[in-house]
Structures are given as C-alpha cells and as structure tokens.
Amino acid sequence: MFEYNELKLVNIIATSIVMLFSLCGFGCAGDYIEYTTLDPALVSKKIHFKKPMVYFVFADKQIAKKYGFIYPKFENKKIIRDLVSKYTANDLLSYIPNLQVEPVKEGMTFTIVGKYWVRHSLLKRQFAPEYQKLILRDGHNIYSVYMVSGDNIIESLMPNTDFGDH
C-alpha cells in the first residue's frame, strides 16, 4: 500500500489539479460586456472631436479577437466600429496590419447613446484595468464605440472633445 508521504504527495497533486481547473474554468473565462445606465445628462449629448478620428472596422472576427475587441450591441444591432484618433490608429496598424480603417469626416457630430464596461476575468483583472466605452452614433447613423478613461466620463471627454465648450 501507499505510505503516508506518498498519500500526502498524491493529495497535494490532486488538489493542485482541481484548483488549476477551477481557476481556468472560472478565472480565465475571458472579457465580457456589462451594460450600465447612462447618466441622463449625457444621453443624446452631441460632441465633436478635436483631433482627426478614424474607425477601426472589425468585420473579421479573428482580427477582432487579436485586438481584444468585443462586439457590443445597441438596439439589437452588433457594433463593429471602434472610434480612435488617427494618431493612435497609425501606431496600432503596425501591430495589426490587416485591420480595416475608415476615415471620419473632420467635424463630424457624434451623439452619445449608451455605455458599457469591459470586464475582465478574475485573473486578468489583477493585471489590466477594466474600462468604459461609450456607444456613439455619428451624423450618418453609424454606431461605434469610444473608450473613456477613468470613472468620470465628463472629465475624460473634455480634453478630447468640445464637451465643455458649449
């Protein structure tokens, strides 16, 4: 039969395997979207960006996965565009060269229509901050998302848009 030390080793290995499966099953489940209520002061607010902007278009699911883009929905429509500054896009295109980019007309009006949090798995949350994205509709009725930094959306928008200029 087994000796005490051998049983102890088998018990430690079994416990480690169970913990590993539990962590990967629940802690590594991936990022997900948590839709939240938008501040009434922001609903239907119109903004213009101070810098030239472009859309990253995530029509290809493999490219979206590589970039970490999760497809949000608004009014039962899947949003495939991420709004970023033209300067940010130039930096990221070397990392994801096949990413489709659409220009945005300078001075385009965007209407804030929603927001959500990108939540991380338990494990990833320890290393990467969670963040909010606004859902925007442009003057051509195209929906996109735009990442805001920090918890205060208004403070995040003021340096990059005309939000505080009205």
Q: What are phi and psi of 24, to 5 degrees?
A: -70, -30
Same domain membership, residue 61 and residue 137? yes
Which residues, other chains included, contact 33 with Cβ-Cβ below 8 Å and sequence gap of 6+? Answer: 70, 72, 116, 117, 118, 119
Same domain membership, residue 110 and residue 127? yes
Same domain membership, residue 160 and residue 111? yes
Same domain membership, residue 44 and residue 18? no
End-to-end CA distance of the chain: 81
- Tell me how many domains the chain contains: 2
The residues that bridge with 82 in the sheet, in sequence order, are 56, 145
**Nearest Cα to Cα of residue 42 among 143, 135, 165:** 135
Quickly tell me which residue has 């009014």 as its tokens. Answer: 75
Q: Which two tokens stand for residue 116?
A: 């959500």
Same domain membership, residue 144 and residue 92? yes
Mean pLDDT of 76-87: 94
CA distance 72 to 62: 16
Same domain membership, residue 155 and residue 85? yes
Same domain membership, residue 18 and residue 50? no
Same domain membership, residue 57 and residue 40? yes
Average pLDDT of the residues of the chain: 82
Kindly report, residue by residue over 115-146, the tens digit of the pLDDT.
Answer: 998 887 766 666 777 789 999 999 999 999 99
Same domain membership, residue 14 and residue 53? no
**Nearest Cα to Cα of residue 55 among 136, 154, 150:** 136
* Residue 2: domain span: 1-30
Kindly report, residue by residue over 144-162, the tens digit of the pLDDT.
Answer: 999 998 778 888 888 888 8
Same domain membership, residue 58 and residue 17? no
**Nearest Cα to Cα of residue 28 among 122, 119, 125:** 122
**Nearest Cα to Cα of residue 111 among 135, 80, 136, 142:** 136
Q: Where are the alpha helices (DSSP H) in the chain?
A: 4-22, 61-67, 86-92, 153-157
Mean pLDDT of 73-100: 88
Same domain membership, residue 4 and residue 71? no
Same domain membership, residue 24 and residue 83? no
Q: Give the three-state DSSP class for 70.
A: coil
> How much of the chain exceeds pLDDT 70, in percent?
78
Q: State the pLDDT confidence band at 96, using cuts at 50, 70 and 90.
A: confident
